[in-house]
Amino acid sequence: MVFGLLFSGVLSDFKTDKIPNSLVVSLLIIKIINLFYITHIDYQNSIGFTCKSFLLSILIIIFLYPFFMIGTLGAGDIKLLFVLLIGNRNPLYFLLSVFVLGLIIGVLNNVRRGTFLNRIRIIKEKIRSALLTGNPSELVSYLNAPEHKKEKGVIVHLSLPILITETLRIIIDLFKGV
């Protein structure tokens, strides 16, 4: 069920650059039901774990929010991460996997389109300028430029790495018997 919802979220993200809130809420309900089921089985350990994972999810989202504000991370991606981090037994590994997969997909996409080296050069110049002047606005405006938002293939949809990572996590848990 989680896979199906995530898959439909990825399709929606690629078609419309949006992940429906109804999909995120549905995933949240499934996660909460799953956590109550786990809590019912192992009350002592699960309540503490649930609270810790929820608080960690909130902290991670607070940390990621500035990336949304400067336009490098979509709101739907953040919401998906929030929901999938609740009850996740290895949240930092999950996040690292998502971002590494996102990086690989982004690099491969830019290499395929022949824009990789040019983008690296421009971003390097913008970062250097921001460090020298102490003003990151040029870098932020470059990242938020409308031509980037509209140019096909420029935006990395983290929903795909999220789907891949969550699918692998589910498969590994099935083999472990968790």
Domain boundaries, given as residue ranges, for the chain: 2-176
**Residue-level pLDDT at 174:** 85
Residues 6+ away with beta carbon under 8 Å from 102 = 156, 158, 160, 161
Cβ atoms 94, 165 nearer than 8 A: yes
Cα(28)–Cα(79) distance, integer angstroms: 10
Band (pLDDT 50/70/90 cuts) for residue 42 is low
Give phi and psi for 56, each to the nearest 5. -65, -40
Identify the burial level of 61 via C-beta atoms within 10 angstroms of its C-beta, where 0-12 means exposed, 13-18 middle and 19 or more buried: middle
**Residue-level pLDDT at 46:** 66
Cα(162)–Cα(6) distance, integer angstroms: 8
pLDDT greater than 90 at residue 2: no
pLDDT greater than 70 at residue 41: no
**Residue-level pLDDT at 127:** 84
- Give the model confidence (pLDDT) of 44-95 as tens digits: 566 777 788 888 889 988 988 888 877 678 889 999 999 998 878 788 899 9
**Residue-level pLDDT at 175:** 87
Tell the residue number behind the tokens 């830019």, with chain if given.
110
SS3 20: coil
**Could you tell me what percent of the chain has a pLDDT over 70?**
83
**Could you tell me what percent of the chain has a pLDDT over 90?**
28
Element counts in the chain: helices (H) and strands (E): 9, 0
pLDDT greater than 90 at residue 25: yes
Q: Span 146-164, mean pLDDT?
A: 71
**Residue-level pLDDT at 96:** 94
pTM confidence score: 0.77
Cβ atoms 88, 94 nearer than 8 A: yes
Cβ atoms 72, 83 nearer than 8 A: no
